[in-house]
Structure 1
Amino acid sequence: MEFDRMMEVLRRLSLEAGDKIMEIYGEDDFDVRAKSDDSPVTAADEAADAIISAGLAAAFPEATVVTEEQADSHDLESASFFIVDPLDGTKEFVKRRGDFTVNIAWVEEGVPLRGVVYAPARGRLFWTQADGTTVEEAAPFAKDAVGDLTRLSVSDPDNAALRVVASKSHRDEATDAYISKYATSDMKSAGSSLKFCLVATGEADLYPRLGRTMEWDTAAGDAVLRGAGGQVVRFDDHTPLQYGKPGYENPYFIAFAEGVTLQQA
């Protein structure tokens, strides 16, 4: 796979999907329905999915595409595949809190090698370059031209004063109990895959997730963080989080900057 071309396509599709999401976000009212797992879905999820799925099929017709909004794709198996969450953080979208993202990633042999995370309401765009390093692009964004880029690198963490980011919508007692094992100086809450990006930029050092997630929720953010020098590991044994698992469901995990001394569960 030619990564230069891939990232050009993924970046453009994320921006196109983001434009459509923001168009619907600006409406006075939009329908919110419940899926079979009781999670919410809106016209924005479906419209963004249509844009990204069509774009990937046109650019990479032989590639496998797994996407949250197409249940039939959840049975697909491939060593290499695109994985998409067209609107990660639908609850944030519905509550108009802004912390939602477009996530597109490329996975090979269990590893998310390339990805893009776009937070259209926040005006933040993160993506991995062809060489695998991660950048944040400055707004405004043009679909046919890349703007000013900042190469991202995780923090040099102080284990006596760690900065932690946790879920805005899924915070629970188990997460708080685990965080309490660390010496912390700052605590942030954020929605969607932005939490990975905050670790990638050095704005946070540690993001533990003790709750159900799917691979489309995490793959793009994982790629962004890895490209900035961070890691994502399983909560139970601290081995690298793998992708392409049956059903695409994740175990609990920890995302962190290199240098954080991980505590046991």
Structure 2
Amino acid sequence: MDMDRLVATMRRLALAGGEAIMEVYGSGDLGVEAKADDSPVTRADKAADAVISAGLREAFPDVALVTEEQAATHSKVADRFLIVDPLDGTKEFVRRRGDFTVNIALVEDGAPVRGVVYAPARRRLFYTDASGASVEEEGPFGRAPGRTTPLQAAHPGGPLRVVASKSHRDAATDAYIARYDVAGIVSAGSSLKFCLVAAGEADLYPRFGPTMEWDTAAGDAVLRGAGGRMIDLGTGGTFRYGKPGYRNGSFLAHGPGVAPR
């Protein structure tokens, strides 16, 4: 695959998806509905998904596409696939807290090799470049990429800076965090948590609640491209993708120099 073209396409579509989201966000009519699992979906989820999925299918018709908002794609099985969460952090979106993202990633042989995470309300754009290294692009975001800053997950030493979910933090997460010497805990929503670790703004992100692969793949790609790692707490091994039903188990995302406990 032409990685320059892939990255350019994912960046363009993430920005377009973010624009569609913010149009709904500013309209006052979020169109909130409940899915079969009682999780919320809004007009913004659907609008962003339409833009992104159409763009990916046009650009890469031979690559399997899995997207949260299209249940028919959830039974696909492929060694290489694109995976999309057009609006990660829908609860944050509905509550108007700003911590929601657009996630697009490419998975090959169980690993997320390229990804983009765009937080339109925060105006932060993270992605892996064609070489696989992670960067944050400075806004305003135009058709051509602006100035980028390389991302390097790094632990300065001493107590750890932990980032945890705003909407899904539970007792198991708190018990795990208690194993470490912690300098502070920051609450954040969506895949932004991975990006904070990738940017060296946090050291550790544990998650024990249920997630899906479209929630994590893009952020995981950005984290890996910045020198970080995501561990499957069930097996102790590196996190893998393409699991049955695209369901995740508990995991730990961390930067280098942080020893899992």
TM-score (norm 2): 0.99
Letter in 1 for 2:141: F
Residue aligning to 1:17:
17
Unmatched 5+ stretches in structure 1: none
Identity of aligned residues (%): 63
- 1:5 paired with 2:5, answer yes
Residue aligning to 1:101:
101
Q: Distance in 1 between matches of 2:63 and 2:232?
A: 28
Q: Distance in 1 between matches of 2:128 and 2:31?
A: 34
- 1:148 paired with 2:153, answer no
- 1:53 paired with 2:72, answer no
Please list, as runs of the form range in 1=range in 2, the aligned pairs for 1:170-185 lying within 5 A after superposition: 170-185=168-183
Q: Distance in 1 between matches of 2:40 and 2:183?
A: 34
Q: Distance in 2 between matches of 1:77 and 1:157?
A: 41
Residue aligning to 2:42:
42
Please list, as runs of the form range in 1=range in 2, the aligned pairs for 1:1-265 lying within 5 A after superposition: 1-142=1-142, 144-158=143-157, 160-263=158-261
State the Cα distance separating 1:257 from its structure 2 match.
0.3
Letter in 1 for 2:205: Y
State the Cα distance separating 1:111 from its structure 2 match.
0.3
State the Cα distance separating 1:28 from its structure 2 match.
1.9
Q: Secondary structure at the match of 2:209?
A: coil
Let me know the Cα RMSD of the aligned residues: 0.7
Per mean C-alpha deviation after superposition, the further-off stretch among 198-207 and 149-158 is 149-158
Q: Distance in 1 between matches of 2:30 and 2:172?
A: 34
Question: Given that residues 116 and 125 in structure 1 are in contact (C-alpha distance below 8 angstroms), is that contact kept between their aligned partners in structure 2?
Answer: yes
TM-score (norm 1): 0.97
State the Cα distance separating 1:245 from its structure 2 match.
0.6
Kindly report structure 1 stretches of 4+ aligned residues shifted beyond 2 Å: none
State the Cα distance separating 1:30 from its structure 2 match.
2.1
